[in-house]
Amino acid sequence: MLAKRIIPCLDIKNGRVVKGTSFVSLRDAGDPLELAKLYNEQSADELVFLDIAATQENRGTTIELASRLARELFIPFTIGGGISSVEQIRALVTAGADKVSINSSAIHSPNLITEGANRFGSQCIVVAMDVKRSGSHWKVFTHGGTRETDLDAFQWALEVEKRGAGEILLTSMDADGQKTGYDLIITSQISKALNIPVIASGGGGELVHFKDALEEGAADAVLAASVFHYGKYTISEVKEYLHLHQIPVRLTR
Amino acid sequence: MNVIVDYQAGNLANLKNALDHLGLESQIATDASAVKAASHILMPGVGAFYPAMESLRQSGMMEAILEQIAAGIPFLGICVGLQLLFAEGQENGSHPGLGLIEGSVVRFKHQLKIPQMGWNQVAFCREDPLLKNIPDHSYFYFVHSYHGVPSKPEITLGTTDYGLSFTSVLQTGNIWGVQFHPEKSQTVGLELLKNFCSF
């Protein structure tokens, strides 16, 4: 049976790991490769690296990081942050990234999803969506959650799938950093309507949150950051818990 | 020399990285002469069946691969590299493959999400040197929408459940194929590659 995936997310700035709470107040949490190796030993199923600065100057640093990671990590990893062209996707994939995550640019030029999927395969293109509840709907935000768009999250998810994305990384801005659980409503709405995997993100703080996201939220994978970075739970602890609750996970010993 | 076949069907860097990490020398082949110098051939690949087959043909490497396999050189097909071994692929119409394995490559026909993306278990059907030191039911990393259905069930070396039980590892003579990505399957994947390169 296909295992549900547990994915630590590392926010990267100038080649170092940082993690903000609700996208502000950054704290330095170390060297990406060291942290990645630690998570690999804890049986992380994949890793996501988000370049939160993503300026022209540090793009080279991110490509170098991808190539360093690819030489030492033998699990899949995704790189995201500021990716706006097929050429940038190519550079990261050539450096060894298995997938790239695109966010704001997918909204401004949805053709990037189509072109990326045609060139590198759907499996390579993750579309990240930052969403926020507004009444009975969820709106999509761009630029690290600072700009509101007119897009309805559910409709945008359908469009993203149609354009050939291989996966959706769905972050609830309401839940992010709150440690009160994932947004189960929008996660399950999108995951059940789509035929591509959905990664739930934002709000993980307790073991039960992971279980809820996978069961009630119908997510295929769960992403978390600070809960792992600050050692509240190890990935193995989360997986043992899920295993105990009959959720298929990859346990390694 | 371990030779990785580069026929413009996806990124080969990660397979090379895995071999480097194991201390195994390898060379990326883009033409027939490099394939002819191989002691072991590894053929990865992602993407669609027909374009992959076309580029293999146009590069002139197809014939070299067939010759090498006929001469007994160990061959490992990975993902689309496994699928191309079959007589027929049904991705975007029916297309002929290398024809080394009787049977077809078909799309998953169930209601589960496609592609299958993530870690799934492989149940071993019999012993084989490729699986040496790898525990039965180990998890490997899969990304695919199609899977091969061999006409001869005895060539199946391992099966995986995803809506149905399908052939995820096969072996016939000096040909091995895996539907998952050993280069992305951590310890067990590296072990499998090590086993293959020691044949």
pTM of the model: 0.94
Closest partner CB to B17 (pick from A5, A70, A75): A70
B139/A250 touch (CB, cutoff 8 Å), yes or no: yes
Per-residue pLDDT tens digits for B155-166 = 999 999 999 999
**Residue in chain B lying closest to A7 (CA):** B118
Beta bridge partners of B10: none
- By the 8 A CB rule, do B174 and B73 touch? yes
Would you place residue B152 in the very low, low, confident or very high pLDDT band (cuts 50, 70, 90)? very high
Q: Mean pLDDT over residues A174-188, rounded? A: 95
**Token pair recorded at residue B22:** 């194991």
Q: CA B122, B126, B128, B133: dihedral to nearest 10 degrees?
A: 60
Of B132, B82, B123, B75, residue with least CA distance to B103: B82
Sheet strands side by side (includes B101-107): B95-96, B86-89, B101-107, B146-150
Q: Mean pLDDT over residues B23-40, rounded? A: 96
Q: Which DSSP state fits B54?
A: H
Would you place residue A25 in the very low, low, confident or very high pLDDT band (cuts 50, 70, 90)? very low
Q: Return the number of other C-beta atoms located less than 10 Å from residue A178's C-beta.
A: 14
Closest partner CB to B117 (pick from A75, A120, A166): A166
**pLDDT score, position A23:** 36
A74/B18 touch (CB, cutoff 8 Å), yes or no: yes
**pLDDT score, position B111:** 86
B184/A220 touch (CB, cutoff 8 Å), yes or no: no
B183 at A interface, C-beta within 8 A = yes
Would you place residue A118 in the very low, low, confident or very high pLDDT band (cuts 50, 70, 90)? confident
**Token pair recorded at residue B182:** 């050993």
A195/B118 touch (CB, cutoff 8 Å), yes or no: no
Would you place residue A17 in the very low, low, confident or very high pLDDT band (cuts 50, 70, 90)? confident
H helix intervals, chain B: 13-21, 32-36, 49-58, 61-70, 80-83, 186-197
- By the 8 A CB rule, do A76 and A124 touch? no
How far apart CA B130 and CA B140 sit, in angstroms, is: 14
B66 at A interface, C-beta within 8 A = no
**Token pair recorded at residue A78:** 């995704």
Per DSSP (E only), the strands in A135-197 are 137-142, 147-152, 167-172
Full set of structural domains in chain A with CATH: 5-244 (3.20.20.70)
Of B182, B109, B176, residue with least CA distance to B143: B182
Full set of structural domains in chain B with CATH: 2-197 (3.40.50.880)
